Structure 1
Amino acid sequence: MTARPPKTVPPILDLRRFEGPAAERQLFLGELRAAARAFGGFYIAGHGVDDALTREAFALSRRFFGLPEREKLTIDMANSPHFRGYTRVGWERTRGLADWREQIDIGSERPALPDAPGAPAWARLQGPNQWPESLPELRPAVLRLQDELTGVVRRILSAVALSLGQPDDAFERVLGSAPTQLVKLIRYPGREAGEGEPGGQGVGPHKDSGLLTLVVQHERSGLQVETEDGWLDVEPVPGTFVVNVGELLELASDGYYRANVHQVVSPPAGSDRLSVAFFLGAQLDSRVPVFRLPPDLAAEARGPERDPRNPLYYDVGENALKSRLRSHPDVAQRHYADLLPARAR
């Protein structure tokens, strides 16, 4: 019997190679380009984030999700017009179906913007986080992790810019001093057959709205990326993060890099899965630039994907708000009811 070839998986790229000798850097950029084109992402190693910090994040996640529901609901996301706080299992939605996960959303710790006449609707997205009083250790640990992961993504974006024939600081103008940052601490409970809505999604197929996403996986798999050959399992690899291309990078590269569609499959009954996802986007008041690519790359740029279910907006704040309103209808109804009739047309 002829042996079947191993299934293709996203490569592991070591970020230290990008910061090494010029010849090694060029090899790294070529591998990044190939991986981002083929898979919409890759694994990143050599990122410099201490394993102790990610272990602490998972330990604190476990402690928080183990609290009684009444304590978790003291920071219910429905209280926050900024989409910060705790979401119960089944209360976030992807493509109209309930996601079988619970989570805490923690963004940049910034004051709310003034509710001035004529202010854009996305201005409501900025504001303080909600923190559980019964777990004070959570705040310093997550904010430190947010800072560390922001640094990693900025380094990767320097490489992405060079891979597109741009200066290495090409993204700094839209990142500015107040980039959009979001950490999600996530727990996917095991799922009985027939439990919840049809489809069995831990989180349904979707694209991320920012520039790049880092996924810190724990011990159990479940993340899948859509490819031309079907869904591809992206297994946890110790010491690495998964990097996913986001919608803003798809726009900036004129579709040379496209955001991947990914999902999470619920773990079996009697188990669960922990994950940390970090999303970095541009400043809310910025507009995505479309890079002028070198001719050889421009010839391969496909333009942004046209999906009527998921329009992409060059205005960063509008793109971010679109994603949040459809994912959290309870928050949308409570804090953005004035926008919903127009957006339903």
Structure 2
Amino acid sequence: MKISPVVDKELSQIPIIDISALVSRTDERYTVASQIKQACCECGFFYIVGHGVDEDLQQRLELLSREFFAQDLESKLKIRMALGGKAWRGYFPIGSELTSGKPDHKEGIYFGAQLGEEHPLVQDGTPMHGCNLFPANIPLFRETVLEYMEAMTHLGHTLMAGIALSLGLEESYFADRYTADPLILFRIFNYPAYSSPSDSEDKWGVGEHTDYGILTILKQDHSGGLQVKSKSGWVAASPIPNSFVCNIGDMLERMTGGLYRSTPHRVQNLSSRHRLSFPFFFDPNFNAEVKRIELNGLLINDDKKQRWDGASVHDFQGTYGDYVLNKVSKVFPELQRTVLSNKVIEPVNFK
């Protein structure tokens, strides 16, 4: 298999945005919003610094995650996804997650908003809602993950206010319509090193894809491996200390009629060590119907040839829950058959 070259121009093609004015809500946040707009229009990816997320918290999360993945498989399977039921939480081993039908070369743990059995959505058996699974043998793992998710949820609200301003909307536009109670999905992924350089030629940590929702906020370690698709080829999104990589998802592309791009990306760990990444997905409420935003002079950039799957997010109609369930049922087809066997997942309504 021939591998497309990676164009190592990440600092010129993926902008770095200091969002401290958004965090502090000073007048300079309008300048930040303008920078976000340019990034979302041109490449759909940007780094953020000045975000205010505690570095010590990030370091603790990384250390505890490495401790978890260093265990034997039997120990990790004690919190396997099948035990999470409809909440769709827990650990999966290497090769269990699919991208475009092909197994990914990674293992990971799925988390979401921590909801008790008394929550109405849990009582109704709504998929992707419920309690998380945590390893009992790693002290402070649970507390650290929940603390990190709380910090990232706050950051997600801050960034969505900036994205609203970037579109000329009220800062509360997305919170008022979609994200007052967002669907929070958090993953910790471990990408093992390949045993030899030849093994990497046909194995991707995760293959080409776009994210499903509104906004992804990614913490990555120092190994590298994230690649973003651009007009000039695949661009390396190399790690920058104490930054996050942000990208928009399919639903924001749909809302903006293609003005903001949900850009394909992929991962290949070519380092000699394990690679950790921590994608946090800040998405619309599960039951929210996703609609196009009325923007003056908005043009739909619906080039299906640019997408690896030939699909169009602009043809989708329905709730975000409809969209995301259709997607994840293809990522974990066996889990969908066994855990959600009584839940009929209809094909997404594309014209």
Tell me the TM-score range normalised by the shorter chain: 0.7 to 0.9
CA distance in 1, matches of 2:167, 2:303: 15
Partner of 1:47 in structure 2?
A: 51
Contact 1:248 1:314 in 2 (8 A): no
Contact 1:109 1:128 in 2 (8 A): yes
Contact 2:218 2:278 in 1 (8 A): yes
Partner of 2:101 in structure 1?
A: 96
CA distance in 1, matches of 2:312, 2:226: 21
* 1:166-201 deviation line (CA, Å, top 9, x unaligned): 1110001244543111121111001134659x7210
CA distance in 2, matches of 1:78, 1:20: 43
Flag the 1:342–1:155 CA change in 2: closer, same or farther, 3 A.
closer
Match among 152, 155, 178 for residue 152 of structure 1: 155
* 1:70-126 deviation line (CA, Å, top 9, x unaligned): 11101111222221000101110100111111111111001353565xx8xxx2221
Match among 229, 244, 255 for residue 241 of structure 1: 244
Report how many aligned residue pairs link the two structures.
Answer: 330
Other structure's SS at 2:202 match: coil
Structure 2: gaps of 5 or more residues: 1-7
Flag the 1:25–1:72 CA change in 2: closer, same or farther, 3 A.
same
CA distance in 1, matches of 2:227, 2:102: 18
Partner of 2:219 in structure 1?
A: 216
- Kindly indicate whether residue 256 of structure 2 is the aligned counterpart of residue 257 of structure 1: no
Other structure's SS at 1:291 match: coil
Partner of 2:336 in structure 1?
A: 332
Contact 1:251 1:304 in 2 (8 A): no
Contact 2:206 2:267 in 1 (8 A): yes
CA distance in 2, matches of 1:242, 1:115: 35
Other structure's SS at 1:43 match: strand
Length-normalised TM-score, structure 1 = 0.88
Match among 294, 297, 304 for residue 296 of structure 2: 294
Partner of 1:206 in structure 2?
A: 209
- Kindly indicate whether residue 105 of structure 2 is the aligned counterpart of residue 105 of structure 1: no
Q: CA deviation at 1:52?
A: 0.5
CA distance in 2, matches of 1:301, 1:289: 14
Contact 1:250 1:304 in 2 (8 A): no
Length-normalised TM-score, structure 2 = 0.86
Counterpart of 2:185 in structure 1: which amino acid? L
CA distance in 2, matches of 1:338, 1:225: 37
CA distance in 2, matches of 1:177, 1:342: 27
Partner of 1:275 in structure 2?
A: 277
Partner of 1:67 in structure 2?
A: 71
Flag the 1:141–1:253 CA change in 2: closer, same or farther, 3 A.
same
**Same amino acid, percent of matched pairs:** 29
Match among 210, 214, 233 for residue 230 of structure 1: 233
Contact 2:256 2:293 in 1 (8 A): yes
Counterpart of 1:226 in structure 2: which amino acid? K
CA distance in 1, matches of 2:179, 2:280: 18
CA distance in 2, matches of 1:278, 1:39: 19
Flag the 1:332–1:166 CA change in 2: closer, same or farther, 3 A.
same
